[in-house]
A = this chain, B = another copy of it.
């Protein structure tokens, strides 16, 4: 990776988040639960599950883009199903629909067999002018 890319994944490194799988419109990101991930009530902060989903949705969509295209999040909604206190979080996202400029994605977050959250999101695809 370039120095720029390394710096830009600094957030993922600090939060101990990493890509697990990517390809064909699907992507999974993971995070081993640590004490730094806790909210004030002692369960994983919902914002971190959301951040994993945003990374996974971005990866899933990027895997379908052409060279030079990039994408940005228009909106994501997360519904929380259960809290998590330990284990390895896995956020998996997939492209549900993709037009020329707009894509819709879904995601599911789990620790083992326990589903923690579901999400739906809309992304915008940018094509560099001249492409």
List residues of chain A with CB under 8 Å of any chain B CB: 4-5, 7-11, 14, 35-42, 45-48, 50-55, 58, 70, 72-83, 96-97, 101-102, 104, 106, 115, 118, 120, 122, 124
Chain B residues with CB below 8 A from A96, complex form = 79, 81, 115, 118
Q: Contact: B97 with A70, CB < 8 Å?
A: no
Q: Which residue of B lies closest to A80 (CB)?
A: B73
Question: Do B50 and A35 touch across chains, with their CB atoms under 8 A apart?
Answer: no
Distance in angstroms between the alpha carbons of A116 and B48 in the assembled complex: 19
Q: Which of B40, B75, B115 contacts A77 (CB 8 A)?
A: B75
Q: Which of B41, B52, B80, B106 contacts A8 (CB 8 A)?
A: B41
B122 touching A120 by the CB < 8 A rule? no
Q: Could you tell me if A75 and B70 are in contact, using CB atoms closer than 8 angstroms?
A: no
> Known pairs A11-B36, A47-B53, A102-B124. 18 more at Cβ < 8 A?
A7-B35, A8-B38, A9-B40, A11-B48, A47-B50, A47-B52, A48-B51, A50-B50, A50-B76, A72-B80, A74-B80, A75-B79, A75-B104, A77-B77, A82-B97, A101-B124, A102-B102, A104-B118
